[in-house]
Amino acid sequence: MIVLGIETSCDETAAAVVADTGRPSRPWEIRSSIVASQAAIHREWGGVVPELASRQHVRDICGVVEQALAEAHVTVGGCDAVAVTQGPGLVGSLLVGISFAKALAWHANRPLVPVHHLAGHIESLVLEEGEMPLPAVVLVVSGGHTSLYRIPSPGTYVLLGRTRDDAAGEAYDKVAKMLGLGYPGGPEVDRLAQSVNDRLVALPRTRLTHPDRNAPHLPGRRDFSFSGIKTAISRHVIGRREALNLGFGQALPAEEVAAVCASFQRVVVGTLVDRLFETAAEEGAKSVGIGGGVSANARLRRDATSRAAKTDLPLFLPSLALSTDNAAMIAAAGLRRYAAGVTADWSLNADASLRL
């Protein structure tokens, strides 16, 4: 079975062809994966501009799909189904991908398979490293999402916790903007954080409580919050700028910027890793995984790998190419859903807040 996947949930236009291997341990293989990034377009605005993203998807999608099919040496008619991201994401961006996928599937008389974007990130772990020992606990962490899922069986995703405010990747980008590092800020914060002491700036760690403020977690929930550390960074930066008598547009000294990056990253990564492995222990998980754009973060990968070795739990991490938004993960999740008999009719619509 071969599936063409299409992904346009935010600011990457992507298409990929993924095929069944017939091997239970490594069920899928990537035949092609093409991504057209819009980072250069949105950089001057300091973040993704939805209207610009939608227009660029329209410009790019034909060429991206054609290239994916050509590299896989297959036609749309040679595919068994067309999978597309239905949500969540920017509604204008999603509509471009869905409209194109519907037209393509209708023309080739092929089934249309709707895919949840976060299911794609979870299945990217299987795509690269084979089936996870189940039950598993997976952290999906990106610019728009920070969520914990329990995977009791293949294709079943049970939400255990999520951010109550900013996603971790969003916090990275906002802190980078405070420090004058530009967009996207996450990779630059990660780079600067590598070379300095990560305890030079005192920052708080979030503690979520019941209304009576006695218990650290709501029953059955393991939520996150990153707005507090973002506020702490803002206050620190404002205080240091006043202390140094810096004028408008003047940045903090480079060594102070690096110290803030390192301290911020220590707290955020520590929170993510602690919550993942604490939840895995509570759930009796046989493996853990991390997916999404922030899974490319060097410290997160290093600290999670170290913790996994200490707990003797298999850790599943995507390659850097599969960490950020791509269509191979959508095609893989589409294969999973199509094998389970899930398809959509021509009334399929985008859902910007689609629940998994």
Q: How far apart are CA 259 and CA 93, in angstroms?
A: 37
Residue 206: predicted pLDDT: 75
**DSSP, res 204:** -
Map out the domains of the chain as residue ranges. 2-122+323-339, 133-313
N residues, the chain: 356
pTM of the model: 0.92
CATH ID of 133-313, from 3.30.830.10, 3.30.420.40, 3.40.190.10, 2.130.10.10: 3.30.420.40
Do 2-122+323-339 and 133-313 come out as alike in CATH topology?
yes
Residue 26, sorted as left (phi over 0), alpha (psi -120 to 50) or beta, turns out to be beta
CATH superfamily, region 2-122+323-339: ATPase, nucleotide binding domain (3.30.420.40)
Name the burial class of residue 156, with classes exposed (0-12), middle (13-18) and buried (19+) by CB atoms within 10 angstroms of its CB: exposed
Residues 114 and 347 sit within 8 Å (Cβ to Cβ): no
Q: Torsions phi, psi of 224, nearest 5?
A: -120, 160
Residue 10: which pLDDT band, with cuts at 50, 70 and 90?
very high
Residues 174 and 250 sit within 8 Å (Cβ to Cβ): no
Predicted confidence (pLDDT) at residue 147 exceeds the cutoff of 60: yes
Task: Tell me whether the omega of the peptide bond preceding residue 184 falls within 30 degrees of 0, making it cis.
Answer: yes
- The pLDDT tens digits for 24-64 are 788 999 999 999 999 889 988 888 999 999 999 999 999 99
Q: How high does pLDDT run on average in the chain?
A: 92
Predicted confidence (pLDDT) at residue 213 exceeds the cutoff of 60: no
Predicted confidence (pLDDT) at residue 5 exceeds the cutoff of 80: yes
Predicted confidence (pLDDT) at residue 161 exceeds the cutoff of 70: yes
Residues 330 and 115 sit within 8 Å (Cβ to Cβ): yes
Residue 349: which pLDDT band, with cuts at 50, 70 and 90?
very high
Residue 98 makes CB contacts below 8 A (sequence gap 6+) with 84, 85, 86, 348, 349, 350
What is the percent of the chain with per-residue pLDDT over 90, rounded to a whole number?
A: 83
DSSP per-residue letters across 301-326: HHHHHHHHHHHT--EE---HHHHSS-
